[in-house]
Every structure is written in C-alpha cells, then in structure tokens.
Amino acid sequence: MSTLPVIAAVDGSDDSLRALDWALDAARRRGAPLRVVHVRQYAVWAQPDVLVAGAPDADDDPVLDRVRTYLEERPDRTDGPDRPGPPRTEYLGVEGAPGAVLPELGSGAQLLVLGSRGRGGFASLLLGSNGMAAARDAECPVVVVPRPGRQADGAAPAGPGPRVVVGLHVDSPDDAALDFAYTEAGLRGARLRVIAAYQWPLQGWATPGEVIPPKVDQDAVENETRALAEGFLAPHSARHRGVVAEPHVLPGDAAGHLVAASQGADLVVVGRHRRRLLAPARMMGSVTQAVLLHAASPVAVVPPGAVEPQDLPED
C-alpha cells in the first residue's frame, strides 16, 4: 500500500516557505513523499461552483519554480550520517478558491501543512481565512506554522530538549489527538506534555446574583482530574513505550495553559470538535481557535478519527 504524502501548501510568501520547511522535515521523519501544492486563485465571481478548474500544470507556475529552486539550494539537501536524504517530491498546480481546494486535498494526505497567513492576508490577522478553513474542514490533520518571534502570554521555562504539547479534556478525551501527539513525540524523540485543565473555582447559583460556594475542595477536583487523565493516557503510553508523557493538571482556562506551553515547543496538538446531531457541520471549539490564533509554536489540528494507531510508526 502506498504511503500518503505530506502536503505543503505554498503561495510564494515567506510564511508558506516556513511551512514548506516544516513539511519537508515531517515527510522525512515519516518516510513519506512530499507534495508541494500551489492553488492559483481565480476570480470567484467568474467560476463560483468550481473547486479545481483545468488540469494541473506544475511546469508553468512561477511560484512552484521558486520552490524548486529553494529546495535545490538548501544546504541539507544531501544525505548525511544523521539525516536521511530528501523525500520524493512532486509539484502540483491547481486553480480554485484556496479555502475550498485545500481541505479537499486533505482527503489524500496524511498531513496538510500551511503558513499562518499567505499573500492575501491582512497584516493585522494572525491566521488567514484559508488556514482556518483548512483546519476546520480537512479530513487529515492540519499543521499551521506561525511567523517566528511570536511570544506566548504566561510562558514559563519548560526544561531542555524537544517537547510536544497536547490538550486533554477529561470529560471528553480525544483519542485521535492523543495518538497523533504520541506519534509525533516519538518521531521527534520529544517529551509529551499533556495539559489537563479543570474548572476552578466551581460556582453555583441559588437566586440571580447569589453565588453558592463549592462543596468540594480544589485538591479533590485536581486529584480526580489527574486520575482520569492518567487512565486515558495509559493505553497510549503502552503503545508508544519510547514516549515519556508528563501530565500537567492545572486550574482554569485550557486555552491559556496551552498557549503558554507553546513557547519553545516543537508542536502543540489540539483536537477538532466532533459533529453533533443538531450541529452536523464541521466546527472548531473555542480552545482550538484560541490556540491557533495565539500559540508561539506550530499547531496541529486533528479531526476525530483521523489517525489510526496501526497506520503510523510506533516506538
């Protein structure tokens, strides 16, 4: 069975070249081919119902020409004792609306990688609309690579060595996001920092405006959250024995803790909302959106059921 490619979406911007670097490294680690895709946007009002128009033409595309030159001139192009050679690389030029085409391409990829904002983005936006659409709609995990120098609020020293961060909601654990995070940590030889946040202080109301103090103490809530987190992590740790998982049980806002932990991390992994009976459209939760907008590291958004443990290498 052929290995699905890692797709890097490029548009000629520096942001997309940073995403290309990340995708190249990811393809090497996975032993997967790299597919470089440029979506040439047409006038939407001229072809409103077309996702991909015309045959791919990668030989007459200045953006892909620049990417070829960029990859050929990389100093690490050749094999070395500690680095495999470059992955098999193919180039694809398509026409359409990027916000629609990129998620469709994800159905034939194991990973879709793009920059936080392309050429069409407003300077004030931390994440462009194409990145948000891909993270929300693609069938494969989507990695968004931010611009360098972004600082995360509340960041604290996290120790030396590579680190992958993942969020764990103990009330509704996301096995796809956890498995992706464990696999990524194994591929990188990284520690896995698991953020399990719990609501505190707990509040109740008897009458409008009257707050009832909680009947449980914080230690009890924290201990229960930790026990649940360790239970959910146990089967993943058994499958990925080379990965050291460090649960961090913290009170308050999960998004804030994940953003703070992103400083200096190799990757932050978050899940995407499952479809619900009364809300069948794909959607992202507020925590995922906040992490995409504010994290200092690359962010992987994993759709439910996107990663099967047997499909990716184990440690």
Check pLDDT > 60 for residue 312.
no
Same domain, 56 and 178: no
Q: CA-based diameter of the chain, in Å? A: 70
Tell me whether residue 115 is in a domain: yes
Neighbours of 7 (CB within 10 A): 28
Task: Tell me the pLDDT of the chain averaged across its residues.
Answer: 82
Residue 146 to residues 217, 231, 253, 296, 300: CA-CA distances in angstroms?
A: 39, 33, 22, 7, 11
How many alpha carbons lie under 13 Å from residue 135 in its C-beta half-sphere? 30
Q: Which of 113, 145, 177 is the last residue of a domain?
A: 145
pLDDT > 80? residue 84? no
Report whether pLDDT(246) > 60.
yes
pLDDT of amino acid 75: 75
pLDDT at 41: 77
**Residue 128, in any domain of the structure:** yes
3-state secondary structure of 113: strand
Q: Tell me, what amino acid is at 59?
A: D
Closest by Cα among 107, 109, 104, 73 to 90: 109
| 168 and 139 both lie in a single domain | no
Q: Which of 85, 118, 145 is the last residue of a domain?
A: 145
The DSSP H or E segment spanning 20 is: helix 14-30
Residue 20 sits in the same domain as residue 88 = yes
- Which structural domain, as residue segments, surrounds residue 179? 163-311
Q: Are residues 137 and 187 in the same domain?
A: no
pLDDT at site 204: 56
Q: Compute the distance between CA of residue 297 and CA of residue 280 in angstroms, rounded to an integer.
A: 31
| Whether residues 135 and 213 fall in one domain | no
Residue 236, pLDDT above cutoff 80 = yes
Q: Please indicate, yes or no, whether residues 170 and 263 belong to a single structural domain of this protein.
A: yes
For 217-243, letters b (16+ CB in 10 Å) and e give: eeeebbeebbebbbebbeebbeebeeb
The pLDDT of residue 19 is above 70: yes
Alpha helices in 144-282, H assignment, sequence order: 175-188, 218-239, 254-261
Residue 138: inside a domain = yes
Do the domain assignments include residue 155? no
Tell whether the model's pLDDT for residue 162 goes beyond 80.
yes
Say which CATH number the domain at 65 has.
Answer: 3.40.50.620
195-200: average pLDDT? 92
Quick check: is 36 in a domain?
Answer: yes
Say yes or no: 137 and 179 in one domain: no
Please report, as a single letter, which amino acid is at residue 270: V
Task: Please answer whether residues 58 and 93 qualify as being in contact, where contact means their C-beta atoms are separated by less than 8 angstroms.
Answer: yes
Mean pLDDT of 106-135: 72
* 198-226 average pLDDT score: 75
Q: Where is pLDDT greater, at 116 or 57?
A: 116
Asked whether residue 150 is domain-assigned, the answer is: no
Residue 158 falls inside a structural domain: no
Identify whether 167 is part of a domain: yes
**Percent of residues, the chain, with pLDDT higher than 70:** 75
The total number of structural domains in the chain stands at 2
The string of pLDDT tens digits covering residues 130-143 is 778 888 999 999 99
